[in-house]
Structure formats: C-alpha cells, structure tokens
Structure 1
Amino acid sequence: MPWRGGLAGTGCRETNQMAAAPAHIHIESVQTAVPTRVAADRGRLLPIAVHGPALTAAELQRRFLAVLYYRGTEGVHGQQLDEGEARARLEQAVWVTEALSAALPDHPKMAGRLRRGSDDAPSWGVKLSDAGLRFLVASADTTMSAFLAEEAKGARESNESALALWTDVDPLDPEMCAPFVMQFTRFQDGGYAIGACCSLLHADPLSLADFLKSWARTHAQLQAQSELVINQVIRYTHYFRSPAAAAKRLKSVPLVPPSAESTTKTVLFRTAAGGDAPAADDRRQALAEACIAQASEKLGVEKPARFTVLAADGSGGLNVHACTGQTRKTAASPGYALRDACWHEAGLEEVVLDGSKPVHVSCSIVSPCADEGLVVVMPAAAGGTELLISATAPSW
C-alpha cells in the first residue's frame, strides 16, 4: 500500500505556510540524457496508424504521469544548505542522469522522437534515435510530508504535474520536442521525487514502468561499481566548485490547489488477450467500448459520446482508433472477462533507489480532451496472454 505515514505529525506550521503563500517547484537545470552507445536499430520508424480524423494538437498531449517519492537525508526546514549538503544533493542528481544515459541504449524508443509525415501524407511514427530524454533538476520550497498532505486533500493532479513538467508537443515540428521527460525534485526535509511523464503516442504506461525499473537497476550497478568518474562529470565541474550555482532558478511553478475537481478519471481492467484473427481490430474496439462503459458506470458518469483507443499492433507500432459510443454493443466480446486492476500491478513500488523503495507512488493518465474518453490497451507482459486496459472518462 502507498505510504501515508507522517502526515498527522506534520504540524500546523507547514500547513499554515502553504495556506498563506503557495509553495513553488523551482526548475534549476534542464538537461538532455543521451544514450551512452548507439542502439542497433537506430533510425527505425515505428508506425502510428491513425484510423479516423487527423490527430489534433490536444490529442498529442495525452500522456502518462508517474511520480515516485523517496525518503532522503533529513534537512533543516527553512534553512539554507551548507556547501557539503548542497554538493551531496547535486551528486545524487548526477547519479540519476548518468544512469539514465546508461539505461537508454537498451530502450531506444525512450530516447526517440515523434515524427510526422508530409502534408500530402500526414502519417505519424516514433523514430528510434539517440536524441535522448529531457531531464530536469528541481527543488521544492516545502517538505515532502506537507506536499503529500496537500495531495491527500485532493490537489494531487495539479500539483504533481509540476514534478514532471511537461512541454507540449508541437504538431508542426514534433521532432524538436521531447515526448518523454523525467524530473528529480528535492524537498526541504531531504525527501525527493522522481517524476516521469511520457506521451501515450510514444509509449504506453507499462513500457514506461519497465524503463524506470531498468534504469533503477542500472543506477544501483553504477553506484556499486563507483563508475561516476571525473571524465563523466566534467560538465558539472562549475556546480561542484560553486554549489550555489545549482540554485539558479530557470522557472518556478506555484503549487495551488485546483478550483475544481479533475475533469477526467481513470479505471483499470485486466483481461485475456484473445486471438490474432483478422477480426482482432473489431474485437479490440468492442473490448475498449466495454471498458469505457464499465468505467463510466463505476465513476457514476455518463458514457462519453466519443472516445479514442490506443492499442499496440504487436510489432512495436501503435493503432489509434477514433470511436463513437453508439457504434457497438457495450457487452464485452466472447472470451473477454473484465477484472478490476490497479496501477500497483506495474511494479513501480519495487523501484529501489539508494537502497530504498519509494514511500509513495502515484500514477495517472493526463488528457486535455476533457469531453472525450480514452482507452489504452497494452500487453500485461511481453509475450503474455493478458491485457491491461486503462479507461479514462470525463468526470463531469
């Protein structure tokens, strides 16, 4: 179960401070973690087949957000770090980014870019490349316990978006935009968060979870081998010599509770994968409609008139289907028995950093298309016989 301890003893001081003046997340560094070696299939294009209207700018911003919280060295709330503490925290961020670079060659898709065809042939795809992922280093002028207390009050979605700050994909020039961003955020009490946000056109939630688990293993291996040598960190010399330079703020994001509830909510299901017959697409869409119908019922909302289905094609590509809620019966196709599932099944609670598991993990589907549903169909395991399906519906 996600950790919720320590909130009752947070004290009135922190709560009053957040109420009086919103805390901020301060972006201190924007970097690019690039693969340490060239992947064998570099340059390969994984197709995104769009069945229906052309993708809109809003649809390009649909994404999966995961945030992992870890305890750290206790700091003194409200006091500036001395040089030794500042250096230690900076070195921790360096370990994170170097492990990312070492893990990316085994996951070339995570270092790639969305690619759009010409105006005459507006196809989409994911180009495997060594462009790398965007990595942000940030600090929060609040404690982790206070942040999680605010999360418990319902401010999670708006606040957690600042822990993996997203920049919209440009529909005209997507290759210049990073569809995957990770962020290291240090809180004042020594706790820290690892935020990861990825376009759903680029990778599904389970693929992102698999990458994070691989990266954590690489992180542990590098630390065990003491491979953070001087040649690897020469570009950080300025910060090591003057840790105060790392405190330069490029952007600050206020943590303000939302004025209204989230406009979408997500329900997860698990089911058997079914066969690979020619009618597989029809079966998959019928399954998606059954999921969106059951999700709407569970949430107590009206079933959306329109929804989009994102489903892997089995060879690295993606199928995007635009559907209406009245096209098929809502009952699942024969052979599909839907069972309730949860994000815990992705295994992110087992991602160990610095010898510790996260004290709390949060996962969410972010969709700017507030009046439409979204279904993501993904293999529950490589070569497995089950599917994990997320069904996101408007909550109004």
Structure 2
Amino acid sequence: MVYGDKPLIPNVEIEAVLTVTPFKQTDPRQTRRVLVTDPVGSGIFCRCLNIVVYYKKVAEEDSGWIVAGWIKESLGRVLADQPMLSGRLRRTSSEDIGELEIVSNDSGVRLIEAKIPITLSQFLDHQLKETSEESDALFVFWNDVDDQNPQFSPLFYLQVTNFECGGYSIGISCNLLLADILFKENFFQKWADVHKDIVSKSNSPKNPIFYFPNLKKDGCKSADSSISSNQIKNNDHTVIFNITDENLYSLDKESDKQIILASVEEVEREVGSKMASKFPVYLRESSNKIKIENCTKNVDQDQQLELIKKSTHEVSRGSWDDLGASEVDFGQGKKPDRVTYWIGSISDGVVVATPSTSGLNIIVSVPT
C-alpha cells in the first residue's frame, strides 16, 4: 500500500485458495427469493459486510496457518447449520432481467490463506498514528458477483493473514443479501464453540490435516492480492438502531418507511452529511425472502420527526459488537486485540434492515 511516494503497509501475498463446503449435504435445499426494484445489473448484489479480527501470538504453537487449517473443518460444520452462506445466486428465469434467488447448493465459501511482511504490532501502531481507510481492506478478500453468471460467484469469503510475528487476522466478507445471518443466528459464537471443541479433542493431531506449511510445494509462487472497490473502507459513519415492534417486518407499510427515513435523518444530523436522495434498502422480510428497494427521501423532515414521535416503536442504539466478533475466542483463551467493521461500496449510502427477536435492527451507513 502506497500513499503518495511513501510505502506504509506492504502488500498481502496470497499463498492458497481453498473451498470450504458444508460438512454434510443440505437436504432439502434451502432457497431465499431476492426481490429487486432495479435491473439486476445495477451492482446492488456486490455490496458486502466486512469484518476483520486481529489476534496476537500467545503460544509457541499458535499461528494463523494452524487456525486456518482447523477452520477448514470447523467452518464446514457450522455451514451445515447455515448452508445459505455457502450458496449461490441464480436466476429463476432465462431472461436477462428476472427474479433471482439464493440456493444453498453447497458450492462452498472461499478460504484464502495469506501472509504479510510486517508484524502485527507494527501494523496496529500504524493504525493508531495514521488515518488509513485502506489498511484494513488488505485483510479481507472479495470478488464482485458476476452480473452475467451470478451462479458462479461465492457470497462469503474468509481470509486468514499471517503476520511476521506469528500474529494473524481473520477477515470476513459477506454479501449483504446474507448479512442478517451473522446478526440473528449468533454465527460467530457458534463457530468459535465448534472450532474449540474440535481442537481440544484429545485425539486431535498437533497440526491439522490442512496445515499449509506442510502442504506447500517448493518453488510455488504467491500472488499479490488486489483490493476490490467493495473492500475499501469508506469514509462513512454507521449507526445501528434497534427497533422494538414485533409487527415491523415490511417496507410495504408507509409508517415503516418513515421509521427508516427518520433513522437516516438522525444519522445525517449527527454527522453533518447527507445520503443521496435515493438510496438502497436491504430488508429481509422472512427467512426465505429478501427485498432490495430504492428508498426516496420525499417526505418533509419535520413531518418525518412528527411521525416517529407519534409511533409506538421503541428505538435504541445498537453497535457492531452485537455481532459478537469482539468476544470470539478460537482457542488459546484469547479474544481479538482489534476488530473492525465496514460495509463496502456505499457512495450513496445504504440501509440494511434485519429482523431481530423483538423487531428490526436497522443499519444506516451515511457517506461523510
């Protein structure tokens, strides 16, 4: 990574690309309808939620190579319970513009193993001293969904990056069409529990079967990673609202739209910046249907505030920590030393609404 003529953070080198499939076949197949108000080729399927957790080395046998090897098995077991994460988009008709659905076809998620010639302490020290919007983006991998052949594009990527000191990072990129699973299903804690259970078994070998340093052939070449526009950390401000109302599940109701517009207005006032006049809203209406709708700010601001005051919804602030990533322990009894979250490619702003046990979580990202 270079700013001006001065290199600050070296490039990440990709060492291996693997596919992790569910531990068992998904039967029956699960599907999720994707309803859109814009043509399929508009790029609305390329936005993703990015999460990076950083761990320092705490024991001699601790390394990202070992963690990645065990992830091949632990993530496969978790995917058996959440097969949609390993699914693919497909058209339900042969037309260029037709309704889409996600099908849990067990094609798997991509696991990237990488390294970077810098210590974790040096990187974290750099992050404290500099404002770098791209540095964290080195530690996640993402390829945009192919508009013409979406059925070949993974919707979930995982990158494990090894630092020179033995520390490592785990980076996740999840398409916004499936991001609600990370919130609603306590995904991170379930995954960490499965991972630790596998590693702690007395008959488990010291190194996993898929331990890359043992599998790497002499003379094989690494490939430099490239940063997609959807990986780059935007200069944005994100706020999460918890809306308490068990009936709040559909944008078809005008009052529900006003709740979202009022949430956007509150964040805009907070940061002194504006969303575009028309911005996308991702709403999971049920377990098998998600809607992507362009929302237009066509209501007077004073009217919006009056509507929210008269509503019976209870609104509170949430945080990215609700995902549980900051508490995830993959072994060695350690929690992350740093966790970062961002939504890629939100030049116009974006809203994600995911059902919770009591209503909705509304994520508002406003470009600043």
Compute the TM-score of the two structures, normalised by the length of structure 1. 0.79
Q: CA deviation at 1:36?
A: 1.5
Unaligned runs of 5+ residues in structure 1 are 1-17, 76-84, 255-259
1:184 aligns with 2:160: yes
User: Residue 13 of structure 2 corresponds to which residue in structure 1?
Assistant: 26
Instruction: Map 1:71-86 onto structure 2 (within 5 A).
Output: 71-73=56-58
Distance in 1 between residues matched to 2:324 and 2:205, nearest whole Å: 31
Q: CA deviation at 1:74?
A: 7.3
8 Å Cα contact 2:239-2:267 kept in structure 1: yes
Match among 272, 276, 291 for residue 300 of structure 1: 272
Unaligned runs of 5+ residues in structure 2 are none
User: Residue 317 of structure 2 corresponds to which residue in structure 1?
Assistant: 340
User: Residue 101 of structure 2 corresponds to which residue in structure 1?
Assistant: 125
8 Å Cα contact 2:188-2:324 kept in structure 1: no
1:321 aligns with 2:293: yes
SS in structure 1 of the partner of residue 182 of structure 2: helix
Q: CA deviation at 1:325?
A: 0.9
Match among 14, 39, 54 for residue 54 of structure 1: 39
User: Residue 80 of structure 1 corresponds to which residue in structure 2?
Assistant: none
Match among 120, 136, 145 for residue 144 of structure 1: 120
Change (3 A) 1:305 1:131: same
Aligned-partner residue type, residue 327 of structure 2: E
8 Å Cα contact 1:57-1:170 kept in structure 2: no
1:385 aligns with 2:358: yes
Change (3 A) 1:72 1:49: same
SS in structure 2 of the partner of residue 330 of structure 1: helix
8 Å Cα contact 2:63-2:162 kept in structure 1: no
Number of equivalences? 352
1:113 aligns with 2:120: no
User: Residue 4 of structure 1 corresponds to which residue in structure 2?
Assistant: none
SS in structure 1 of the partner of residue 15 of structure 2: strand
8 Å Cα contact 1:64-1:205 kept in structure 2: no
Distance in 1 between residues matched to 2:249 and 2:334, nearest whole Å: 45
Change (3 A) 1:227 1:184: farther
1:240 aligns with 2:189: no
Compute the TM-score of the two structures, normalised by the length of structure 2. 0.85
SS in structure 2 of the partner of residue 375 of structure 1: strand
Q: CA deviation at 1:177?
A: 0.9
SS in structure 1 of the partner of residue 134 of structure 2: helix
Q: CA deviation at 1:376?
A: 0.7
Aligned-partner residue type, residue 31 of structure 1: L
User: Residue 36 of structure 1 corresponds to which residue in structure 2?
Assistant: 23
SS in structure 2 of the partner of residue 198 of structure 1: strand
User: Residue 343 of structure 2 corresponds to which residue in structure 1?
Assistant: 365
Residues 212-255 of structure 1: per-residue CA shift (max 9 Å, x gap): 3222111111112256569x83xx5884266766x84122459x
The farther-off stretch of 186-195 and 332-341 is: 332-341
1:250 aligns with 2:235: no
The farther-off stretch of 91-100 and 133-142 is: 91-100
8 Å Cα contact 1:74-1:190 kept in structure 2: no
Q: Percent identity between the aligned chains?
A: 26
User: Residue 244 of structure 2 corresponds to which residue in structure 1?
Assistant: 272
User: Residue 143 of structure 2 corresponds to which residue in structure 1?
Assistant: 167
